[in-house]
Amino acid sequence: MNKPLRRIAIFCGLLVLALLLRDNWLQYVRADELNTHKLNKRVEIERYAYERGNIVVDGKAITGSAATADTYYKYKRTYTDGPLWAPVTGYASQVFGANQIEKLEDGILTGNSDQLFFDRTMAMFTGDKKKGGNVVTTLNGKAQKAAFEGLGDKKGAVAAIEPKTGRILALASTPSYDPSSFAGRLKDDEKAWVALGKDPDKPMLNRALRETYPPGSTFKVLTAAAALEHGAVDDINAATDTPEPYILPNTSTPMVNHANGCENASLNKALEVSCNSVFAKLGDTVTRDKMVETAEKFGFNNPEIDTPVRAAASVYDKKMDRPGNALSSIGQFNTATTPLQMAMVTSAIANDGRLMKPYMIDQLEAPNLDVIEKTEPEEMSRPLSQENAQLVQQMMENVVENGTGGNAAISGVKVGGKTGTAQHGENNSKNPYAWFISYAKDDNGSPVAVAVVVEDSNARRDDISGGGLAAPIAKAVMQAVLNEKQ
């Protein structure tokens, strides 16, 4: 071969090598980046070329797929009782993407997950149409309906957990939205999406998982647990040596009580009538660092609580001063929590001190309904001993039997609860939030723990508003779960 031909051959060989290197770089190194690129429509088109698998509650699909007239996007997502289940399912839209379970389990629902490789391979040989798998949730349909209907036209949220396992039984948020209204590509879908984004009531906000509120007096059960765990109290019926008025440490500011009989009240009595002074003093006695320690064992300050939808982190301030800690010990100041977090606190107490990791997906199924993955209950922490948990149970049950939580009482069943009214806004100028946390307990233990928050303009500035507005909702949810157990 003469010299010019040899040079051309080498140059062509280098071009082929460069092409091979570039091709492998695109197919392997940048594959994920290109597949998820916002301008790559092939992935979206493929996602809606087949019917999606379903999200399942109580053995029934709460989602579906409907054929469209679109050449490329052949199916769109549909929802049964969309507003009821939106905080659980999230949405899957041909234009606006997906969130929550629809996004997190997209691989299973579309059939593209590596876990379904065998099913896809078999379909190639049998000629079967590609199908997505199913996501089976832990939700209880009747409890979810009770929560949603209980909230009604009020703004708020409900979270309910099975204490022994951590299974989420209800997750309601109001106002809500219908994910079907913008699932397609028509003008009406776009209008619905834009309207939801402009709504000042934020119907697309998952208040049960993603909104944090001051917990008010419901936080006092955690302070009671901390006082018992760290030796500030050893007898729940003994006087606490609390003056009236109690002056916040390092200040001249008195702690205001909205109840009578708080001077030297026992821990049991203080929880029954909700004495701010007793719990503020106990929080100071326990100290900020020990309060933080206990709060974190219950799940506060943890930004990685996944259900698998990630919940916003609930906060107990690690750097506040003594008066701030005293105020935080009654659920005010910088303390902020999601309804899920307060349901976790309640479930740990009801479960004799064991906090189970909350989860919302029971199992993943292949298109032929074979189980390909199942969630097993997992202990998250032990915030308090069994003995102390049972002491807090005694006090919470006394709140329902003799205190402000009477509206949650259920005949023939032990119910423990705590009311709360959380002040917020500059100088507490905004209308307060009404809270109620509770659990029901039968001969086999506690099958349900509930947290309810109502953002209501008519909430009164005392704990009775939590008992009046939120407790009946919690009762309805607990009753629905108990009825299923019978």
Q: Which of 93, 217, 274, 438 is catalytic?
A: 217
Q: Please choose, from the candidates 168, 134, 165, the residue with its C-alpha nearest in 3D space to the C-alpha of residue 60.
A: 134
Q: Which tokens is 320 given?
A: 């506040």
Q: Is the peptide bond between 358 and the residue preceding it cis, with omega within 30 degrees of 0?
A: no
6 burial class (0-12, 13-18, 19+ CB within 10 angstroms)? exposed
CA 319 to chain centre: 26
Cα Rg of the chain (Å, integer): 27
Contacts 24+ apart (CB under 8 A), 378-382: 378/166, 379/354, 379/355, 380/166, 380/299, 380/355, 380/356, 381/297, 381/298, 381/299, 381/348, 381/355, 382/297, 382/353, 382/354, 382/355
If DSSP states are collapsed to H, E and C, what string results for 330-397?
CCCCCCEECHHHHHHHHHHHHCCCCEECCECEEEEECCCCCEEEECCCCEEECCCCHHHHHHHHHHHH
Instruction: Output phi, psi for 79, to 5 deg.
Output: -135, 135
Within 10 angstroms of residue 202's Cβ, the number of other Cβ atoms is: 15
Strand pairing partners for 361? 137
Q: Which tokens is 283 given?
A: 């929080």
Where residue 166 falls (left for φ over 0; alpha for ψ -120 to 50; beta otherwise) is left
Would you call 454 helix, strand, or coil by DSSP? strand
Please name the residue that has the structure tokens 């709140």. Answer: 399
Would you call 424 helix, strand, or coil by DSSP? strand
Within 10 angstroms of residue 377's Cβ, the number of other Cβ atoms is: 12
DSSP type of residue 61:
E
- The string over 291-326, giving b where at least 16 C-beta atoms fall within 10 Å of a residue's C-beta and e elsewhere, is bbbbbbbbbbebeebebebebbbbbbbeebeebbbb
Query: Is 217 among the catalytic positions?
Result: yes
Where residue 153 falls (left for φ over 0; alpha for ψ -120 to 50; beta otherwise) is alpha
Catalytic machinery residues: 217
